[in-house]
Amino acid sequence: MKLFVKNLTNVDFSYLDAQRGMMGESWLAQLELDGSLNSQGMICDFGIVKSRVRDWLDTYVDHRLVIPMLSSQAKLESVGENLELTWQYSDEKELVCNAPAEAFSQVSKDSITPESLADWCESQLLALFGKEVQGLSLSFVPEKIEGAFYHYSHGLEQHAGNCQRIAHGHRSCIEIYIDQQRDTALEQEWALQWQDIYLGTKAHLVTQADGYNLYQYTAPQGNFSLKLPTQRCDDLATETTVEQIALHIAAVLRKRFPEREVQVRAYEGIGKGAIA
Tens of pLDDT, residues 194-238 = 999 999 999 999 999 999 999 999 999 999 999 999 999 999 999
Q: In what order do the strands lie in the sheet with 82-88?
A: 74-79, 82-88, 94-99, 222-229, 212-219, 205-209
Residue 40 — very low, low, confident or very high, per pLDDT cuts 50/70/90? low
pLDDT of residue 33: 76
Residue 244 — very low, low, confident or very high, per pLDDT cuts 50/70/90? very high
pLDDT of residue 126: 85
Average pLDDT over residues 10-33: 95
Which runs of E-coded beta strand occur in 120-242? Answer: 133-142, 149-154, 168-178, 181-182, 197-201, 205-209, 212-219, 222-229, 233-236
What's the whole-number average pLDDT of the chain?
93
- pLDDT greater than 70 at residue 257: yes
Output the domain CATH number for residue 84: 3.30.479.10
pLDDT of residue 39: 56
CA-nearest of 50, 34, 12, 30 to 138 is: 30
Percent of the chain at pLDDT > 90 equals: 84
pLDDT of residue 42: 60
- pLDDT greater than 70 at residue 43: no
* Through-space distance between the first and last CA atoms of the chain, rounded to whole angstroms: 49
Domain of 82 in residue numbering reads as: 2-275
Q: What is the pLDDT of residues 112-140, one digit of tens each?
A: 999 999 999 998 998 887 676 778 899 99
Average pLDDT over residues 255-275: 97
β-pairing verdict for 65-68 and 2-17: parallel
Percent of the chain at pLDDT > 70 equals: 95
Split into its structural domains, the chain has a count of 1
pLDDT of residue 49: 77
Neighbours of 114 (CB within 10 A): 16
pLDDT of residue 44: 60
- pLDDT greater than 90 at residue 97: yes
Helices within the chain (DSSP H only)? 46-60, 114-125, 184-193, 242-256
Q: What is the sign of the dihedral through the CA atoms of 47, 52, 53 and 57?
A: positive
pLDDT of residue 37: 61
Q: Which of 65-79, 109-123, 132-146, 154-168 is least confident?
A: 132-146
pLDDT of residue 6: 87
Average pLDDT over residues 132-153: 91
- pLDDT greater than 70 at residue 46: no
Residue 110 — very low, low, confident or very high, per pLDDT cuts 50/70/90? very high
Average pLDDT over residues 184-191: 98
Stated pTM of the model: 0.94
